[in-house]
Amino acid sequence: MAGADAHDLADVSPTAWRLLRVAAGFSQRDVEREVPDLRQAHVSMLEGGHRGLSGDRLRDLFALYETELDDEQVAAIVEHF
């Protein structure tokens, strides 16, 4: 999903978001420190399926995970979860 747009990212399941974060080696607190204006509560709501994030925030979060994972890992998580 390299270069994915916000529409594609809005289709990523809550479970996949959680697995991407964990596979990339980040805790919710780590994400809060790495992505400006993104709080642990935002990550928790996204991963719980209770609320989405803006397109910009989704792209920032996805880019953070992509730096730690290869394309095959990302694709497998997004496609199967």
Give residue-wise pLDDT tens across range 44-67: 999 999 988 999 999 999 999 999
Domain boundaries, given as residue ranges, for the chain: 6-80
Distance between CA 9 and CA 11 in Å, rounded? 5
Residue 10 · residue 52 · CB < 8 Å: yes
Q: Is CATH 1.10.260 correct for 6-80?
A: yes
pLDDT for 60:
94
pLDDT for 49:
94
Q: Is the pLDDT of residue 78 over 60?
A: yes
pLDDT for 3:
53
Give residue-wise pLDDT tens across range 2-51: 556 555 898 999 999 999 999 999 999 999 999 998 999 999 999 999 98
Q: pTM score, two decimals?
A: 0.89
Residue 1 · residue 77 · CB < 8 Å: no
Distance between CA 50 and CA 1 in Å, rounded? 23
Q: Give the DSSP per-residue string, 61-76.
A: HHHHHHHHS-HHHHHH
